[in-house]
A and B are shown apart, each in its own frame.
Chain A
Amino acid sequence: MKFSKFSIFEKDYPDINHLAVYNTLTKAVAIIEKNLYESVINNNFENINENHISSLLEQGIVVENDDDETSKLNIYFSKIKSEYPSYSTMILTSYDCNLKCKYCFENNIKSINKNMSAEVTEQTINWLKNEVNQYNPKHFSIIFSGGEPLLNKESIKNISTKMKEYCISKSIQYSFGILTNGTINIDESELNDFYTMGLRIIQFTIDGAREIHDARRILQGGSYDKIINNIKFVDSRINIQTIVRINVDNENINQIDGLLDELKKLNIKNLTIDVAPRIASSCDIYNCNSHVLTDNVLADEIIKINEKITNIGLRHSRRFTSSTPCLGIALRQFVIDPLGDLYKCAGFAGMKDFKVGSIFETKLNKKYTDIVGLDNWHNCKNCEYVPLCGGGCMYINHLEFNNYRKTKCQKTLFNKIVMKSLISTLNKEKIKKQLEASK
């Protein structure tokens, strides 16, 4: 018996006699005694509870000495690529945005300034129905993004009403989420309609306390207060998951606390805070990419902010920890843009060189084959983090090397952040009590 190569550890958790272990392939989390850990490392199982070993085997944390973990990894990626119990797609209802953020990764396409037309909306519905028929998922979900998706509420309403109706007729669950800048008002009747249509998640972006947020996410008269009011309004009317995303770079990294304190006061029912790297832009017209943090610094800063989030009694996301590889790998996950063009990554939306097809055509193009056939994870089969990163981010590769095929390894970031991010979402005191009770 040995530890899986995908098992990673946090020593002295929750106390000096134990370790936390997380398996990045199976996503199982366990707390084990130090002597059990040493027994597995030393391959000496005298005086070890057999039930404990069989539990760890069952969870994939421990494997038999002759287990072929590469085959397990192959199966994992094969499932991600081609099985669809849950079919997800991302729809950009508009390339337009009312904010003028200098760092926006879409600054090169905002000039397209176009909402999805009624014709494209109808064809999107037809195209999605065809996907449902072909792949017959148990659950079908859409993420609406943009630009600012709420600048085109009609497309959201139309697509959701019809897709929900269609999914129900096939006994398929339907839900959707919206990634919004949070400045567009939704009135009570619209909000109720959205909820009835399947809205279950809204992500708002706030880049720190009022002053720094308003300096970065630019709207005449400021956007911070509008967003806070809209979060409060949504929370008071419907019961959904609210995510506040904070894009961090070296311009705002020390000005986040005021926002966290404000969010704490708001007492939102189902709030998750996602501290995320501010993504570089491939069209950096305002020279903002210089503010992007290195992976090393980013990891330290996210850990620090997440600790503060936990300490004040709020929840943070498990960014980098609970991720599965992105839609770029899966055969039938797409980003549909306002023109009806298909992409394999939101970062590439609007960049015609990365278009992989269109909802108006049945055939996908050569770029599609190039991207889904890439499978960079093959080059990283012995890395403990490959089940999380999938062999790297195509968009980051593109920014770094002007070559989406060449991997920019982010192991430094994953090494620092994965266990820390996991640990700070666990309830340490409860775990201690459970360990005590199990003695």
Chain B
Amino acid sequence: MLIVEEAKDCVNVTEPSFCGCFISPLFAPTTGD
């Protein structure tokens, strides 16, 4: 088993990502490099 991404606090964000329609959601970090 592998935890790839940990649980996050929904309001603990440091970047604007509040609108799914008009603003592009920011790229979330992946297991990539």
Contacts and interface: CB of A to CB of B under 8 A. Distances in A.
Interface of A: 20, 23, 26-33, 36, 49, 52, 55-56, 58-60, 76, 79-80, 83-86, 88, 90, 138-139, 141-143, 145, 173, 175, 177, 179, 200-201, 203, 241, 243, 245, 272, 274, 276-277, 279, 315-324, 326-327, 330, 333, 345-347, 387-389, 393, 395-396, 425-427, 430-431, 434-435, 438
Contacts of A315: 27
Contacts of B17: 88, 322-324
Nearest to B8: A27
Majority secondary structure of chain A interface residues (helix, strand, loop or mixed): mixed
A283 to B, nearest CB: 16
23 contacts: A26-B7, A27-B7, A59-B3, A79-B10, A80-B11, A86-B15, A138-B14, A141-B15, A143-B16, A173-B14, A241-B27, A274-B25, A276-B24, A277-B21, A317-B25, A320-B20, A323-B25, A330-B18, A395-B21, A427-B30, A427-B31, A430-B31, A431-B4
A324 B18 contact: yes
The range of chain B's interface size is: 20 to 34
A96 B30 CA distance: 38
A76 B21 CA distance: 21
Interface of B: 1-28, 30-33
Given A347-B21, A393-B20, 16 more contacts: A28-B7, A32-B1, A33-B1, A59-B3, A139-B14, A141-B16, A179-B23, A274-B25, A279-B22, A315-B27, A316-B27, A317-B24, A327-B18, A395-B21, A426-B4, A427-B32
A86 B25 CA distance: 15
A28 B20 CA distance: 19
A80 B28 contact: no
Given A324-B17, A330-B18, A346-B19, A319 B25 contact: yes
Nearest to B13: A86
B28 A31 contact: no
4 closest residue pairs by CB, A with B:
A274-B24, A26-B7, A272-B27, A29-B5
A388 B18 CA distance: 11
A145 B22 contact: yes
Nearest to A79: B11
Nearest to B24: A274
Contacts of B25: 274, 317-319, 321-323
A60 B7 contact: yes
Contacts of B3: 28-30, 55, 59
Contacts of B21: 276-277, 279, 326, 346-347, 393, 395-396
Contact of A333 (B10, B18, B31): B18
Nearest to A203: B24
A59 B6 CA distance: 7
A145 B22 CA distance: 10
A138 B22 CA distance: 25
A326 B16 CA distance: 11
A241 B26 contact: yes
A435 B26 contact: no
